[in-house]
Structure 1
Amino acid sequence: MKLTKLNIIIFIGLIAIVGVITMQLIMLHEAYLFEKKETGEKIHFALQDVVTRIYRDNQSELPTETPIKKISEDYYVVNVDDYFEASTLKYYLRSEFEKVKLDMDYEYAMYNCASDEMVYGEYVSMGQNEIEKKQKCENCFTKRPDLIYYFGVRFPRLQYGYVNSLKLYWMYTGVLFLVLVIYVYSVFLLLKQKAYTELQKDFINNMTHEFKTPLSSILIASNYAAKQEAITANPKLNKYLGIIIEQSNRLNQHIERILSVAKTDNNLVSLQKKPFNAAETLELVCENASIKFENANITFTPQNRQQLLIADEFHFYNIAYNIVENAIKYGNAAAKVHITLTQAEEGLLLAFTDNGPGIAPEHIDFVFDRFYRVPRENKKEIEGFGLGLFYVKKICELHKWRISIKNNVPPPGITITIYIPKKSLA
């Protein structure tokens, strides 16, 4: 895999998250061992105090060796080596476990010399839950052939107690694993989106070549043929050739618009910002639009005819022309468009006002969306893909300009305003 900045960032992020999770697992393991050791010490101290109290009641001396033997993780055998009562053992066990704050269920049994059997005592639930008491196991207490006076204690929910005491650690670990899953999924989507972007970029480049080359050849050949004597002498052929040239130019405009929108939508456009006279560019827009739309009345009123902008002149011309063209196409038969360029407190205001039918309030907030076309009551079919104003907004966003649209008060018509901040002025 090619080593890029993105790949390095993804790898470092993955290593960081895995490292944090590893540290959390180590901490969880250490906390488990600590909890296990602390619980074992509580049990040992409590049972030792039980034996001490039994010996004190019998006025006997304590043995030198520890009377407590750990048979398994949850089973302890205590050699009292002296007589004790069942009721006394029950009381001492409960009081000593409460003293060391061992809030854990337990059950116990005592060895009976007469029957040579372990006599089950009781299942003690610290939560007083009768359902938990059904977990008692009377056959789980084994005899010790080398002992006479002894009892056994089991903790059936010991492992659950360990897990429950570490619930915050488990919660943090679960959150970290969730973060890892989300990170991996996000990286997967990012790489997938990057692959799509590269594919789209290649497609745009290929489409530019595949469409523009044959279309240019058609226009060159058509323009050359239109000048031939045999064509000019034949009105019908001249008319058909004029249709070919006109439709080819129209197709070329559609291709340019689609490619421009595709490039701006994928941040493939690099703005060539430089100082230029905005008033001159807007006057050129008016002239070209007036030539194309002979019946339209297009006027321009600049406050300063030497107003310099630092922007991409090509795209500035395109967005101004798109707005004017839309106003005429969707306007009345005698369309009027008035352009003003005025100074504001923090920059310039470029406004386009027309006398068209306006836009219904439920549609006006969506006119800058891609492929959105406002429904028309007169059902007049107008060529386009709903990309013109989307392109305009994208170019304004790339320049860090603000654009807005509103219906005129009083009607008719709409006004599109572009706010250009001072940082874009020369």
Structure 2
Amino acid sequence: MKLRKFNLIMVIGLVAIVGILIAQLLWTRQAYSLEEKKFSQKVHIALLEVARKLYEGTKIELPGENPVVKVSNDYYIVNINNDFEPDILEFYLKSEFEKSDIRTDFEYAMYNCQSDEMVYGNYISASNKAEGKKSVYFPKHKNLVYYFAIRFPNERPYLLKSLLFWIGLSVALVIILLIYVYSIVIILQQKRYSELQRDFIDNMTHEFKTPLSSILLASNYLSRQPQISGDEKLSKYTNIIIGQSNKLNSHIGEILTIAKSDSVPMELDKKPVKLASVLNEAAETMRLKHTLADISIDAKDDISIQADPFHFTNIVYNLIDNSIKYCDGKPEISIRILSEKQLTKLEFSDNGIGIPTEKIPNIFDRFYRIPNSRSNEVNGFGLGLYYVKKICLLHGWKISVRNNPSKGITVILSIPN
């Protein structure tokens, strides 16, 4: 159900972005058409004004029909039943185009009735950088005696320049669409890899559980036999098998717990927990397990927090166990509680081998183990601190690590009151 909902959301998002992009492209096209129509109207008005001025001072009246004809998008002809000078025409064209805010290059040509051909006039550059540029071919028109033609060679770039905002917005939407599609592909790949990894872990751990249970059952049975219990070496080897099998069983259970918490949201059963009680109980258990460990606790009996007792106890055991594992000499662990106005801080300090500063951000990653000789000696999968960080985040706590000035590290749990 969740997968279907996820896929549905992605499809809806993709359709929405594609729809917005199509609408944006249609709006841009419409805006270009409007700009083109507006430009054509301004040119038409300007050329009408040029034709009117060419008739001024003559005895010939301006004809009633429209003298301006648009032959193509960038090509116009103006019919003038009157002789005129090229310099005067160019002056009028420049002044009227400037008045109409037409600021792009244009070229004009006049019809010479004596030679019966179009005579090139001039190329006028808006930036005055292309004076003297050769003209393209101007076709001759029948049934016209006195007329001139106008061409705008850069009309399309000129119109597109006025639509930079719309074009930029369209490009931005295309980039967003590509990023969205790329993100979907990455998410689907990561989801597939995560499912494959989880399925592999589940299958692997379950396949290990059956033979391991048989090994433990047979080992416990052997350990109770008189022939085994009466032989010191056989009893020792049997206890090693049982001990290592229990350790492997514990690791498998840890992996299953992590895999399950990744697929199903973990629920916390928060209750008032007395810190001193949990810390003393955990310390006593660890002292029995590791007789050389020196664990000191500085905690008041009346300090309580809201936490899941089971998971909080596991956090304490994990942190103390790590401090003992990663110590070259006699483990010395100091646990103390600092009460502030808004926070209760729980600090675990040890005299272990420490952690390189650049590696500290990675120690809470799943399966991560710092590459050193001590890590190679210690059994485990690199899931302990990942589990600790996950439980802290579920509680809304903050966990941080720093190296001690002399030796070892200090792990700090910041618990809001």
Would you say same fold, with TM above 0.5? yes
User: CA–CA distance in 1 between the matches of 2:2 and 2:385?
Assistant: 39
Number of the residue aligned with 1:351: 347
Number of the residue aligned with 2:135: 136
SS of the aligned residue for 1:77 comes to strand
Q: What residue identity is the alignment partner of 1:203?
A: F
Q: What residue identity is the alignment partner of 1:159?
A: R
8 Å CA contact 1:303, 1:342 repeated in 2: no
Number of the residue aligned with 2:212: 215
Number of the residue aligned with 1:175: 172
Number of the residue aligned with 2:357: 362
Residue by residue over 1:173-214, the C-alpha shift from the partner in whole angstroms, topping out at 9 and shown as x without a partner, is 111111111112112222222223333332333233122222
Q: What residue identity is the alignment partner of 1:136?
A: S
Q: How does 1:9-24 map to 2 (within 5 A)?
A: 9-24=9-24
Number of the residue aligned with 1:394: 390
Structure 1 portions without partners, runs of 5+: none
User: CA–CA distance in 1 between the matches of 2:147 and 2:359?
Assistant: 89
User: CA–CA distance in 1 between the matches of 2:280 and 2:111?
Assistant: 110
User: CA–CA distance in 1 between the matches of 2:2 and 2:357?
Assistant: 49
* Deviation, structure 1 residue 155: 1.5
Number of the residue aligned with 1:295: 292
8 Å CA contact 1:78, 1:152 repeated in 2: yes
Number of the residue aligned with 2:224: 227
Q: In the superposition, relative to structure 1, how do residues 101 and 75 fare at CA in structure 2: closer, same or farther (>3 Å)?
A: same
Number of the residue aligned with 2:414: 419
User: CA–CA distance in 1 between the matches of 2:98 and 2:180?
Assistant: 46
Deviates more, 1:285-294 or 1:45-54: 285-294
User: CA–CA distance in 2 between the matches of 1:63 and 1:95?
Assistant: 23
User: CA–CA distance in 2 between the matches of 1:300 and 1:2?
Assistant: 46
TM-score after normalising by structure 1: 0.86
Q: In the superposition, relative to structure 1, how do residues 380 and 95 fare at CA in structure 2: closer, same or farther (>3 Å)?
A: closer
User: CA–CA distance in 2 between the matches of 1:269 and 1:223?
Assistant: 37
Number of the residue aligned with 1:310: 306
Residue by residue over 1:138-184, the C-alpha shift from the partner in whole angstroms, topping out at 9 and shown as x without a partner, is xx212222111111111111222222221221111111111111112
Number of the residue aligned with 2:79: 79
Q: In the superposition, relative to structure 1, how do residues 2 and 290 fare at CA in structure 2: closer, same or farther (>3 Å)?
A: closer
SS of the aligned residue for 1:151 comes to strand
* Deviation, structure 1 residue 39: 1.0
Number of the residue aligned with 1:104: 104
User: CA–CA distance in 2 between the matches of 1:68 and 1:331?
Assistant: 96
SS of the aligned residue for 2:56 comes to helix
Q: What residue identity is the alignment partner of 2:416?
A: P
Deviates more, 1:173-182 or 1:238-247: 238-247
SS of the aligned residue for 2:321 comes to helix
Candidates 202, 213, 238, aligned match of 1:241: 238
Residue by residue over 1:94-142, the C-alpha shift from the partner in whole angstroms, topping out at 9 and shown as x without a partner, is 2221221111211111111221111111111111122x864621xx212
* Deviation, structure 1 residue 27: 1.8
Q: In the superposition, relative to structure 1, how do residues 372 and 27 fare at CA in structure 2: closer, same or farther (>3 Å)?
A: same
8 Å CA contact 1:368, 1:393 repeated in 2: no
Q: How does 1:181-192 map to 2 (within 5 A)?
A: 181-192=178-189
Q: Does 1:329 align with 2:328?
A: no
Q: How does 1:10-159 map to 2 (within 5 A)?
A: 10-130=10-130, 134=133, 136-137=135-136, 140-159=137-156
Structure 2 portions without partners, runs of 5+: none
Equivalent pairs counted in the alignment come to: 414
Q: In the superposition, relative to structure 1, how do residues 256 and 156 fare at CA in structure 2: closer, same or farther (>3 Å)?
A: same
User: CA–CA distance in 2 between the matches of 1:204 and 1:91?
Assistant: 85
User: CA–CA distance in 1 between the matches of 2:376 and 2:35?
Assistant: 79
* Deviation, structure 1 residue 226: 0.9
Q: Does 1:255 align with 2:252?
A: yes
* Deviation, structure 1 residue 316: 1.7
Residue by residue over 1:336-389, the C-alpha shift from the partner in whole angstroms, topping out at 9 and shown as x without a partner, is 3343446443343333333x256266367357343243746x999433444433
User: CA–CA distance in 1 between the matches of 2:410 and 2:378?
Assistant: 21
State the superposition RMSD in angstroms: 2.9
Q: What residue identity is the alignment partner of 2:28?
A: L
User: CA–CA distance in 1 between the matches of 2:247 and 2:392?
Assistant: 25
Number of the residue aligned with 1:206: 203
SS of the aligned residue for 2:121 comes to strand
Deviates more, 1:393-402 or 1:168-177: 393-402
Number of the residue aligned with 2:267: 271
Q: What residue identity is the alignment partner of 2:241?
A: I
Q: What residue identity is the alignment partner of 1:85?
A: E
* Deviation, structure 1 residue 238: 2.2
Number of the residue aligned with 2:316: 320
Q: What residue identity is the alignment partner of 2:166?
A: Y
Q: In the superposition, relative to structure 1, how do residues 280 and 135 fare at CA in structure 2: closer, same or farther (>3 Å)?
A: farther
Q: In the superposition, relative to structure 1, how do residues 133 and 207 fare at CA in structure 2: closer, same or farther (>3 Å)?
A: farther
Q: In the superposition, relative to structure 1, how do residues 334 and 87 fare at CA in structure 2: closer, same or farther (>3 Å)?
A: closer
Residue by residue over 1:387-425, the C-alpha shift from the partner in whole angstroms, topping out at 9 and shown as x without a partner, is 43343233222221122334556x455433322222xxx
8 Å CA contact 1:296, 1:334 repeated in 2: yes
Q: What residue identity is the alignment partner of 1:402?
A: K
SS of the aligned residue for 1:179 comes to helix
Q: In the superposition, relative to structure 1, how do residues 167 and 299 fare at CA in structure 2: closer, same or farther (>3 Å)?
A: closer
